[in-house]
Amino acid sequence: MKVLHFFKTYWPDSFGGVERTIHAIAQSTAAFGIETEVLSLSRAPDENTKRLDDHMARKARLDFELASTGFSREVFRKFRAASAKADLIHYHFPWPLMDVVHFQSRHGKPAVVTYHSDIVKQRLILPFYRPLMMRFLGDVDAIVATSPNYLESSPVLGAFRAKSKVIPIGIDEDAYPPPGEADNNWCRAMVPEPFVLFVGVLRYYKGLDVLIHAAGQARCKIVIAGSGPIEWELRQQAATLRRDNVLFLGEVAEPRKMVLLHNCRGLVFPSNQRSEAYGVSLVEAAMCGKPMISCEIGTGTSYVNKAGQTGLVVPPSDPARLAEAINRLIESPAEAADWGQAARDRYARLFTADRMGKSYAELYRQLEGRIR
């Protein structure tokens, strides 16, 4: 069975959470006889059209971006050609241009949408986009939410409960490179213990400004690994507030990310807006048997990190409560170890790539051959 994934960005142009999820779905469904192709936009489509692991990543030329939405004239032609060879189309929401391409192509194939997030940042344009969005979601055959929490809390998904199902994002432990001795030496030299870790892209909804405020009351180092659009502002904030216990490492390679995860006391994930629909970094921490701290924002973060079971869940945008949770991880090692073990057990039960791949393959087979 041939499946075409369609989203605005994908590897090697971009390595965000949605891109990682598409890659994990492609790799995990291959074991169940699914052949994957991914179509996305790129400023260098000829250079970045290539085979990635076991699937093909094709590119259409990105003409411009507006309100976080990539636009392309070429993508209409390339989508028609790719969809003609596919048995099923797998969309990744949100991306308004995708809705237009869907209706313009008239591909007639069964279609699945993975609903990654409500539209949050661009809420001023939502009234204008909403009619197209609702028509698009109404037209596809199935909608996948990544957690029961998001399915229950999203006002948009509430209108499509009958054709929605939950498939949590899973990751493959074998896909993560084990850290070597050089990585361990680097960690010991760069990061004095004890420390808690944030890892991810530095974006507006990650709550990192709140974490920097909380650092003034935290009795440990706070390591921030990653780069992104607000990195300069965060570094300036930490310098202005004299948060000497906040360490910015910038972008780190995968082996170094893993050594940080293995050596931290826990993962702190202070995202404070619904744009954070899931949190793959939380799953990575659970895979490594680490306790977690996250915020209650009504999304999948509180599904991955179960309050009082795998870590602590605090109110969003509350530096005092966030600092209190960090200090509890540091000062209650036995309790933190119990949470870490429970997190590892929960990963093995719910969040493996094999489990996700099997669920998607079963959904694809249910829809295979459906005439639209």
Please check whether residues 63 and 105 belong to one and the same domain: yes
| 223 beta partners | 197, 247
Please give the tally of structural domains in the chain.
2
In 3D space, the residue among 15, 1, 6 whose CA is nearest the CA of residue 253 turns out to be 15
Pair 264, 290: CB distance under 8 Å: yes
Please check whether residues 197 and 339 belong to one and the same domain: yes
What Cα–Cα distance (Å) separates residue 146 from each residue in 55, 92, 149, 203, 305?
23, 12, 9, 21, 14
Please check whether residues 141 and 201 belong to one and the same domain: no
277 part of a folded domain: yes
Question: d(Cα 107, Cα 304) in Å, to the nearest integer?
Answer: 36
For residues 47-73, average pLDDT: 91
187 part of a folded domain: yes
| 6 beta partners | 39, 91
Pair 249, 199: CB distance under 8 Å: no
**Does the pLDDT of residue 213 top 70, yes or no?**
yes
- What CATH number has the domain bearing residue 193? 3.40.50.2000
Its sign, for the CA torsion 332, 217, 245, 279, is: positive
Please check whether residues 157 and 71 belong to one and the same domain: yes
Please check whether residues 233 and 337 belong to one and the same domain: yes
200 part of a folded domain: yes
Please check whether residues 118 and 6 belong to one and the same domain: yes
Please check whether residues 325 and 226 belong to one and the same domain: yes
Question: d(Cα 150, Cα 236) in Å, to the nearest integer?
Answer: 34
Please check whether residues 153 and 166 belong to one and the same domain: yes
Question: d(Cα 94, Cα 112) in Å, to the nearest integer?
Answer: 13
Residue 114 pLDDT grade (very low, low, confident, very high; cuts 50, 70, 90): very high
Mean pLDDT, the chain, whole residue set: 95
- Tokens for 40, please give them: 């996305």
Where in the sequence is the domain holding 300, given as residue range(s)?
A: 173-350
21 part of a folded domain: yes
> What's the pLDDT at 193?
87
> What's the pLDDT at 123?
66
> What's the pLDDT at 92?
98
**227 in the Ramachandran plot: left (φ > 0), alpha (ψ -120 to 50) or beta?**
beta
Please check whether residues 141 and 180 belong to one and the same domain: no
Tell me the one-letter amino acid at 293: I
The answer to pTM > 0.95 is no
Residue 370 pLDDT grade (very low, low, confident, very high; cuts 50, 70, 90): confident
Please check whether residues 342 and 357 belong to one and the same domain: no
